[in-house]
Amino acid sequence: MLAEIITIGDEILIGQVVDTNSAWMGQELNKIGVSVKQITSVSDQAEHIKQALDEAQQRADLILMTGGLGPTKDDVTKLTLSSYFNMPLRRDEATLAHVTDIFARLNRPMIEANIKQADVPDGCTVIQNKNGTAPCMWFEVNGKIFVSMPGVPFEMMYLMEEEILPRIKKAFNLSSIIHKTILTAGLGESFLAQQIEDIEDQLPSHIKLAYLPKLGQVRLRLSGTGADEEALEKEIEHFAQQIMTRIAKHVVIDQDIALEKAILDQMEAKGLTLSTAESCTGGYISHLITQHAGSSAVFAGGAVAYSYDLKESILGVKHETLTTFGAVSEQTVKEMAQGAISHFKTDYAIAVSGIAGPGGGLPGKPVGTVWIAVASKHKVEAKLFTFGSKRIQNIERSAMAALTMLLNLLKQDLN
């Protein structure tokens, strides 16, 4: 089944906003067995929107639109759809009540433009938008389905998850799709593929394996279609187990979550605590950890020790270690990790010290040289990495490498 996405709004075309909606929608549609044929971003102009609709419905059966539903005059999507489908506007009382209620709760006066948000093309199905004032509209015309949603990401996501995706499954009578994701770290896509080639070759035609690589991690996603959901789930689980046994060393978890979240969950289950001692990653690792709700159960805190002084005073790195071996060295990074454990009183710690660049390279230590250590109360391990010349990439890759090392240390200790 083919779908197209049309995003409407000048702000995308002038580059003020990055269109993250389409990628998210593409992922979610794929999960229910719908392929996106084309994504089209058009301006807030009626003729342009109509042309995009003409072209899209020649290629696809489902056309999902986002944007252009605000109360201001530059938003023309609703009027354009009214004219395109030849459906005059009618005032929808349920929508009016919803909009009125929102303004009452915010204690703000309603103006004519807000009331007009309750006008909808007569002939579409109105789906209430709990997170905003613009209603979602569902059209069935000439055997095709057209859906118009607001462009605000969290309004669109909620509507898709709660209303649109279930209705799409029903309208197109899609067979169930079951997905199982295995998060791996530390081995590249092509090497993983080599190791599980024979398992992949044995997959029946209704089960597909996708490789989704990102920054040193690869997600393996098994997706199966079939009528008997229970049998399908068992079948996919069987292949997932085969794969996980084969590449056990590289499996983080059999869930579709972030690497640091998988670590937090494991540590929380065992009542373990973590701290960080960051130099070149500059707080990025603790930011990754603390963006997850509930991280405070595991994460006590950390130090961003850019200067020699702070490495000594907060982390207890010895002055002579710094002067003898330098800040970017095995000795320093190990003392940073051990210092974090003793000063921050945690069970585990991560330490990173490197040259993120673009400046700061030293003889024998070019930009991209990064030492990473992970420590428990009984053990400390350090490893040297040589990344590239780009600062942001070096920070991101260092963080992922550090988290992967921590995961491996946890595996050794907990198994």
289 binds its own copies (CB under 8 A): yes
* CB 140, min distance to its own copies, A: 24
Among 86, 190, 307, 386, binds its own copies (CB under 8 A): 307
Scan residues 365-394 and list those touching its own copies (CB under 8 A). Answer: 390-392
271 binds its own copies (CB under 8 A): no
Among 190, 204, 294, 412, binds its own copies (CB under 8 A): 294
Choices 157-165, 186-194, 282-290, 406-414; region in contact with its own copies by CB under 8 A:
282-290
Measured from the Cβ of residue 399, the count of other Cβ atoms closer than 10 Å reads 26
60 binds its own copies (CB under 8 A): no
What is the residue whose two structure tokens read 């896509």? 189
Scan residues 192-231 and list those touching its own copies (CB under 8 A). Answer: 212
**For residues 25 and 359, what is the distance between their CA atoms, to the nearest angstrom?**
40
What are the residues whose beta carbons fall under 8 Å from the beta carbon of 415, sequence distance 6 or more?
none
User: Residues in contact with its own copies, total (CB under 8 A)?
Assistant: 73
Scan residues 139-158 and list those touching its own copies (CB under 8 A). Answer: 154
Choices 7-15, 140-148, 257-265, 374-382; region in contact with its own copies by CB under 8 A:
7-15
* CB 4, min distance to its own copies, A: 10
What are the residues whose beta carbons fall under 8 Å from the beta carbon of 124, sequence distance 6 or more?
81, 85, 87, 137, 138, 139
Q: Up-side HSE of residue 121: CA atoms within 13 Å toward CB?
A: 25
326 binds its own copies (CB under 8 A): no
15 binds its own copies (CB under 8 A): yes
What are the residues whose beta carbons fall under 8 Å from the beta carbon of 384, sequence distance 6 or more?
330, 369, 370, 371
* DSSP per-residue string spanning 21-38: HHHHHHHHHHHTT-EEEE
12 binds its own copies (CB under 8 A): yes
φ, ψ at 136 (rounded to 5°): -90, 140
Choices 36-44, 179-187, 378-386, 403-411; region in contact with its own copies by CB under 8 A:
36-44
Choices 99-107, 109-117, 119-127, 288-296; region in contact with its own copies by CB under 8 A:
288-296
**For residues 373 and 280, what is the distance between their CA atoms, to the nearest angstrom?**
13
Amino acid residing at 75: D
306 binds its own copies (CB under 8 A): yes
